[in-house]
Chain A
Amino acid sequence: MAHVKLFDIAVARSGDKGDGSNVGIRARTPELYRFLEQNLTAERVKAHFHAICKGRVDRYEVPNLLALNFILHDSLGGGGTETFKTDAQGKVHGPALLHMEMDVPDALLPAK
């Protein structure tokens, strides 16, 4: 097992969705997608964003894109036009998710 940040095994992008954000994460290989599909649960993402996301987290699988899509409800401090937050549109939620650390089997790690 290797202890890695998701930065090493995936890419991500986020944007606003009403009063919440969406965070899409794409695994670097099909094997890593299966690993994330099993391990990167909505609960785990909610715990990661505990201080930012006040609502529930929904997860959608997009296996053809090796991707998972998370909706972080109530995570912008009010809607996009009304919030005071500097990150009014959840633009940094994508990279913020990639800060998550996980134990990944060595065999799954992409070549550097």
Chain B
Amino acid sequence: MANDKVVRVANGQGFWGDSLLGPLRLVDEGPLDYLTLDYLSEVTMSIMQKLKSRDPNAGYATDFVQLLARILPKLKAKGIKVVANAGGVNGPACLAAIKKVAQELGVKGLKVAIVEGDDIYGDVDRLTAGGEAFTNMDTGAVFATVRERLTSANVYIGAKPIAEALDRGADIVVAGRITDPSLALGPLIHEFGWSMDDWDRLACGTVAGHIMECGAQCTGGNYTRWREVPDFAHIGYPVAEVQADGSFVVTKHEGTGGLVTVETVTSQLLYEMGDPHRYLGPDVTVDFTTVQIEQAGKDRVRISGVRGSAPTDTYKVSMTYADGYKIASGIVVTGPDAVERAQLCADIVFERLAMHGAPVAPENRFVEIFGTNVCYKGIVPTPENPGEVLLRIGARGPDRKKLDILGREMAPLVTSGPPGLTGFAAGRARATEVFGYWPALMDKTKVSPRVTVEEV
């Protein structure tokens, strides 16, 4: 019966850099229909844009292609489809790389789709001329202050093009900057034929995607009652078993570690939450105060009743801009009066930077002394005289070469500073680029996501 249909959507990658074990195990350890993978962050987009400017074949998540090389035959054998935002700012290059991998593995008849249209980096001036202000939605600052330093500009598009790609037979869908929950919502729209104004079902699918978007953070990872979580090492990544009415069960594959309870899932529901009444997405506005949640068996949590309403008429735009450089480096200070000597070391480094002709203004200096409650400042009592501390010194500024000197003035502290310093084995730190984040809104009608499907 159509009403009994259950679609299993999993997330095997919560962010770029998440464990490769997640997706490898998900395709091995249990039933699955869709594997979703998240590779993008604001900073990633600027890095990819820069890579693409140097090499027209770069600018996508190469990790994804390497993963496919390992799991493609298994995906094909088990009929598991993949939805990933691995396209970055260069979907066509990602597609070409996937083709190559499929050919090398002898996998035939594979349909790969790319979703584009989110990358407006090259269209910003035309869009500005057409009336888009791109005012910073957090600060109200005007766009002209960063226009010349822009390093990426992407629209958070929704689930519709993902569903379209699947409707057209795609086995693998590679998108650029789509919202994280859309990775899961797209397959559900495709499977159940949900209409794009069926707000409640779209809201359910969005919540499923939201719960899974950080991978194992809903299956016991980062859970504050951590002693209750069995077998972290083998933690199971989340699987949502979704029904046509939008209700779903969050679970994980049998025999995996971790824990799926109302509390582990609620913890993740609360992650990055703003106003719970209005969770804004490109396809639907979700009211999290309508979420019904209950334990439905061991490691099974059922979600239902989620209500949604029409989305706004704007897309969120995620932009980044070049904002100088920063450097940070650390050294261990041991023994009595470690804190006092750590502070002295920081003073010495900044003084020596000035002697190099690379002075750092006080507002651009940063010092953290770990062991003195850096992260819990004012919240838990600070140890009076810790026997050892980790000194972390940072600086920022417009001149990369001058900042690099900080990295070279750390090791000399051991022989030309106070005693008891050690642990400087990691090598010299180097300055890295700082990308400022510029969130804005734009008229939805001026963005046209497009889908290309190719058989490889």
Chain B interface size, as a band, is 35 or more
Contact B379 A99 (CB under 8 A): yes
For A69-94 the 0/1 string (1 means CB < 8 A from B) is 10100000001111011110001101
Q: Assuming A11-B263, A49-B379, A64-B289, is B272 touching A79 (CB within 8 A)? A: no
B326 within 8 A of A: yes
Q: Are A84 and B394 in contact (CB under 8 A)?
A: yes
Asked if A60 meets B275 with Cβ closer than 8 Å, knowing A81-B436, A84-B394, the reply is yes
Interface flag for A2 (CB, 8 Å) = no
Report the bound CA distance from A17 to B370 in whole Å: 25
- Interface stretch (choices B28-36, B102-110, B220-228, B409-417): B220-228
- Which A residue sits closest to B305, measured CB to CB? A64
Given A19-B138, A81-B435, A94-B224, CB of A26 within 8 Å of CB of B289: no
Of listed B275, B289, B375, residue having the most chain A CB within 10 A:
B375
User: Do A99 and B380 touch across chains, with their CB atoms under 8 A apart?
Assistant: yes
Instruction: Give chain B nearest CB distance to A70 CB in angstroms.
Output: 10
Partner of B290 from the list A14, A25, A64, A99 (CB cut-off 8 Å) is: A64
Minimum CB–CB distance for A5 against chain B, Å: 10
B436 contacts across to A, CB distance below 8 A = 79, 81-82
Q: B residues bordering A, Cβ < 8 Å?
A: 42-43, 138, 217, 222-225, 263, 266-277, 288-293, 320, 323, 326, 328, 366, 368, 370, 374-380, 392, 394, 396, 434-437, 439
A-B contact pairs, 13 of them (CB 8 A): A24-B267, A24-B271, A24-B273, A26-B266, A48-B379, A51-B378, A52-B379, A60-B276, A69-B273, A69-B276, A80-B437, A81-B434, A87-B375
List 8 A-B pairs, minimum CB-CB distance, nearest first: A24-B270, A51-B378, A84-B366, A51-B377, A13-B267, A15-B272, A18-B138, A84-B394
